Chain A
Amino acid sequence: MEFILAILIGIFYASGLYMMLRRSLVKLIIGLILIGNGANLLIFLLGRITKGLPPIIPGESPVFLKAYADPIPQALILTAIVISFGLQSFAIVLVKRAYSVVKTDDLDQMNSTDQFS
């Protein structure tokens, strides 16, 4: 149901953003994952959803005989899911390293490297 999915995507974005605005490092990453999932679903929804018609050519036929789900958003999201795994693991490890160097989980205490003077 498109309407509910659209609302759901909104919830993903809202909760992801809320988590990113926290000061805790772990929450930041959880927020990142939530927004990533929301983005995947958004692309999926905007490519129009179809039930029970996967983009796989059936049987012996060389072409589609009836309607099929749009394959392009699926291909896009498939790569996005895998890439986001790479991103997440990198972010998680970065957080871990940052924590072991700065000894704080509080993002506000990590700003000294970024300040311009």
Chain B
Amino acid sequence: MLAAILLGFLFSGLLVFTGKFLKGRWAVLSASIPFVLFVYFAQFIGRVSSGEIISQHIVWVPSMGIDLRFVLDGISLIFSLMITGIGFLVFLYTSAYLKNHEYLDRFYGYLGIFMGAMLGIVLSDNVLSLFIFWELTSISSFFLIGFKNKEESSRKSAVLALAITGFGGLFLLAGALILGSVAGTFTISEMLSSKELIANSPHYIIIVAFIFIAAFTKSAQFPFHFWLPGAMKAPTPVSTYLHSATMVKAGVYLLLRFTPVLGSTEFWNSTLIIVGSITMLYAAMHTLFRTDLKGILAYSTISALGILVFLIGLGTKEALLAACVFILVHALYKATLFLVTGIIDHETGSRDITMLSGLRKVLFPVAIAGFLAAISFAGIPPSFGFLGKELIYESTLHYGNSAILITALAIITNILLLYSGFLVGIKPFTGKLPERFSKVHMPSFLMWIPPLILAILCILFGIFPSIIQESLIQPAVTSLGENGGEVHLKLWHGFNTILALSAITIGIGVLLYFLIKPNKKVETAIKKLEFISPKTMTEKFGNGFYYFSTLWTNYFQNGYLRHYVSTIILFLVGVMGYTLLNNTRYRLVYSSFTALTIYEVITFVIMIAGILYTVFTKSRLAAVAALGIVGLTISLIFVYYSAPDLAMTQFSIDTLTVILFVLVLYRLPKYLNLSDIKTRIKDGVLSIAFGGLISILALEVLAEPQGSEISEFYAENAYLLAKGKNVVNVILVDFRGIDTFMEITVLTIAAIGVFALLKLRMTAKERITTGIKK
């Protein structure tokens, strides 16, 4: 399974080298990757449906409890098949949709990474590796959404999506860590046994809340839904892939995966029901006011995700069954409609629902696909969608006391969804063909075959639900912890309440479709209300934060080096001074000090004189000379205190530094008298305070006992182990040889830097290409 996940990444990596080759007519070959994966996962259907759970375990970071543990059970299988199956069709479609696009290889690269990451999410059995793949989808989707990176709105949408999903990702990490420490394991399948422990833990609410935030951001639940419509700026294949089967379903998957571990508590259920129902209604209402095909699809996607969250919230076996079925239903019809929209956009250049009509005359097979998907979308028999809707009604009707209320919510949502489904799938193809579209011709078969396949599946699964009942749905429901009884999917339940509800839904929905005509006026009107929408709020918050950080940055990062230095030192003096003054005991043990000789006194005096002269002289040359003298006195100090190596090194370096200074100095201007007396006094006070603190610190440390086990080790073993008697040198070239190696590397880098700064100049041509003006 690891290989399956890595295949996507590998494919993307290879594209770096083979991209040019793939960009041309061979682009369609890239679809073989998801196809192979689809076949690979499909061969597990038999084993999984017989109740087997296929797992793979690879040790990765054992010390931190991170291992690569992959599990393929019912729910993972459904998702894997969707990811690879729809992925296959999207890859095919893309090869024609973005034919001869300049960056087609790049696009496939992102898609490959995204597919690999999605597979990683649905197969991971370890919450930490799940998190890693989760973040990988956020990042790769960022690139996919912002693919048209020359458009500002596209970039903005990509950043927004990354910000929201990344924000949720952080919560997932936090939640996963707390969950792991409470459960004592990071393996999800092992957490099942400590369900009670987790539910009774005081951290339960936090864990669930964090995981909810992660799932809601990813699955675009209210109030985090607004990144999804913006993400429609991406090329249509991306929208298809991300919003029908994968990215947004990751949040739903997360909730499903944790249902057996964290579910069936009051907090879990009611939060999901409330958030889910708000989202499904809010988004379904929004579809009424949109005129852009992709906009309608975006809001209907949010609404469908709301339904799923709502069903998971209900948490009964019927509801989970409905959720599993509806995931598949939605993936099929939504992918179809996105692809159909893509074709319409590609061929007519318009996605405006008020303009499009009569396209069946020119795009007949596409019209069939759109029509079938719309039927499934609307839940009209004999489609798969009808079956899904029946299951939804069944689960809401059997939900205890508030059955009537939640059924009503579900019905309203479904009516609105039916309306939007008709709008997208049927409206563009019916009516009169406008003059301007009469020249529209069919696209490449690579583009219209994929939606047609999906659309046929929408109907096929409806008529013959037994195809997927045993093989996919039953194991999925079992893997969610519901073992009781067989699952029976059938189209016809006889005349009962549910059928009546379906009839009501269809009736009102169709009526709505004929009554309400989408128009721009309503859309503009609703846009005026946007100032209270979560999106605007977030943007305002973002702008405010940006403004604040600009102020903050301009205050602190003002470009004046000495302000930086003095701010840092001032802070340091404050903090260190406070601590030192509170804790200092001023113990000066004179007896422990080494004796003072006349040589030392003379050296110290020369040194202090040298320093003061360096600071206060007005001549640069004098300053450099004084600095040289200071360096020499330091080397004398090393001589006095038993450090001959240091003395020699200091002496040589001092010589070279003075030479260096003298060489450069003449090219630099004379000292300027730039600061007034006031600044100097201020700086002087700060400097003296800083120097004083350092002195106190040094004395304080000297009063503490010293541990020297390491030195003793080196000293004792210098000759025995390293056959050297100069311990300093032995440490440098033997005991800590790698450090020294790094050091000479750094020196080399510095020398290359000097060389580059002085010798290398940009040529005139490079200047032009990099846009730097002289």
List the B residue with the shortest CB-CB distance to A71: B727
Q: In the complex, which residues 641-656 of chain B have their Cβ closer than 8 Å to any Cβ of chain A?
A: 641-646, 649-650, 653, 656
Selected from A13, A77, A82, A108, the residue in CB contact (under 8 A) with B694 is: A13
Q: Which residues of A contact B702 (CB under 8 A)?
A: 2, 6, 45-46, 48
Give the segment of B301-309, B487-495, B609-617 that binds chain A: B609-617
Q: Which residues of A contact B714 (CB under 8 A)?
A: 71-72
B698 in contact with A9 (CB, 8 Å): yes
Complex Cα–Cα for A71 and B588 (A): 25
**For chain A, which range describes its interface: under 10, 10 to 19, 20 to 34, or 35 or more residues?**
35 or more
Complex Cα–Cα for A42 and B559 (A): 31
Selected from B596, B608, B646, B743, the residue in CB contact (under 8 A) with A8 is: B608
* Chain A nearest Cβ from B592, distance in angstroms: 8
A71 in contact with B711 (CB, 8 Å): yes
Complex Cα–Cα for A17 and B689 (A): 10
Total contacting residues, chain B, CB less than 8 A? 102
Instruction: Contacts A72-B711, A78-B728 given; indicate if A90 touches B650 (C-beta within 8 A).
Output: no
Task: Decide if B637 is an interface residue (CB 8 Å cutoff).
Answer: yes
Q: Which residues of A contact B746 (CB under 8 A)?
A: 83, 86
B642 in contact with A33 (CB, 8 Å): no
Q: Which residues of A contact B698 (CB under 8 A)?
A: 5-6, 9-10, 42, 45-46
Q: Which residues of B contact A89 (CB under 8 A)?
A: 657, 660, 750, 754
* Chain B nearest Cβ from A31, distance in angstroms: 9
Task: Decide if B667 is an interface residue (CB 8 Å cutoff).
Answer: yes
- A/B pair count, beta carbons within 8 Å: 286
Q: Which residues of B contact A87 (CB under 8 A)?
A: 750
Complex Cα–Cα for A9 and B649 (A): 20
A57 in contact with B719 (CB, 8 Å): yes
Q: In the complex, which residues 34-85 of chain A have their Cβ closer than 8 Å to any Cβ of chain B?
A: 34, 37-38, 40-42, 44-46, 48-58, 62-64, 68-72, 74-75, 77-79, 81-85
Interface bits A69-113 vs B (CB < 8 Å: 1, else 0): 111101101110111111111101111110110000111101111
Instruction: Contacts A4-B596, A50-B594, A51-B641 given; indicate if A85 touches B656 (C-beta within 8 A).
Output: yes
A30 in contact with B653 (CB, 8 Å): no
Interface bits B579-609 vs A (CB < 8 Å: 1, else 0): 0000000001010111110001000100110
* Chain B nearest Cβ from A106, distance in angstroms: 6
List the B residue with the shortest CB-CB distance to A94: B757
Complex Cα–Cα for A13 and B653 (A): 20
Instruction: Contacts A70-B708, A72-B731, A105-B668 given; indicate if A38 touches B553 (C-beta within 8 A).
Output: no
* Chain B nearest Cβ from A62, distance in angstroms: 5
Complex Cα–Cα for A105 and B672 (A): 8
A57 in contact with B725 (CB, 8 Å): yes
Q: Which residues of A contact B751 (CB under 8 A)?
A: 86
Q: In the complex, which residues 540-569 of chain B have their Cβ closer than 8 Å to any Cβ of chain A?
A: 550, 553-554, 557-562, 565-566, 569
B668 in contact with A15 (CB, 8 Å): no
Q: Which residues of A contact B727 (CB under 8 A)?
A: 55-57, 68, 71
* Chain A nearest Cβ from B73, distance in angstroms: 52
Q: Which residues of B contact A93 (CB under 8 A)?
A: 664, 753-754, 757-758
Q: Which residues of B contact A56 (CB under 8 A)?
A: 644, 725-727
A115 in contact with B558 (CB, 8 Å): yes
Instruction: Contacts A3-B593, A114-B559 given; indicate if A23 touches B674 (C-beta within 8 A).
Output: yes
Q: Which residues of B contact A42 (CB under 8 A)?
A: 694, 698
Apart from A41-B634, A84-B653, A99-B668, what are 15 other A-B pairs with CB-CB below 8 Å?
A7-B695, A8-B608, A15-B612, A15-B687, A17-B569, A26-B623, A34-B627, A41-B637, A54-B644, A55-B642, A56-B726, A63-B719, A72-B714, A77-B643, A107-B561
Interface residues of B (CB under 8 A from A): 550, 553-554, 557-562, 565-566, 569, 588, 590, 592-596, 600, 604, 607-608, 611-612, 614-615, 620, 623-624, 627, 630-631, 634, 637-638, 640-646, 649-650, 653, 656-657, 660-661, 664-665, 667-669, 671-672, 674-675, 683-684, 686-688, 690-695, 698-699, 701-702, 706, 708, 710-711, 714-716, 718-720, 725-728, 731-732, 736, 739-740, 743, 746-747, 750-751, 753-754, 757-758
5 contacts between A and B (CB under 8 A): A19-B614, A26-B620, A56-B726, A81-B650, A107-B561
